[in-house]
Amino acid sequence: MKLHKRKKFTRLRGTRTHGWAMKKHKGKGNKGGWGMSGTGKRADQRKTWVIKYQYPYFGKKGFTSRSTARKINKVMNIEDIEKLVNSGRARNGILELKDYKILGDGNIGSKIKVLAGAFSKSAKEKIEKAGGEVILAKLATQKEGKSV
In tens, the pLDDT along 70-127 reads: 666 789 999 998 888 888 888 888 898 888 999 999 998 888 999 999 999 999 999 9
Q: Which domain holds residue 40?
A: 8-62
Is residue 120 assigned to a domain? yes
* Domain-located, residue 79: yes
Q: Which of 144, 81, 104, 72 is nearest to 136 (CA)?
A: 144
Number of domains in the chain: 2
* 8 A C-beta contact, residue 116 and residue 97: yes
* pLDDT for residue 99: 87
Mean pLDDT of 120-142: 88
**Could you tell me if residue 68 is inside a domain?**
no
Q: Which of 62, 90, 105 is the last residue of a domain?
A: 62
**Of 76, 70, 85, which is closest to residue 123 (Cα–Cα)?**
76
Looking at the structure, do residues 89 and 37 belong to the same domain, yes or no? no
Question: Is residue 89 domain-shared with residue 49, that is, in the same domain?
Answer: no
Domain end point (choices 32, 62, 92):
62
Q: Is the pTM of this model over 0.75?
A: no
- CATH number, residue 136: 3.100.10.10
Residue 131 lies in a domain: yes
- State whether 47 and 92 are in the same domain: no
Kindly state whether residues 136 and 87 are assigned to the same domain. Answer: yes
Backbone angles phi, psi at 94, to 5 degrees: -120, 130
16 and 53 together in one domain: yes
Query: What percentage of the chain exceeds 70 in pLDDT?
Result: 81
Residue 34 predicted with pLDDT over 80: no
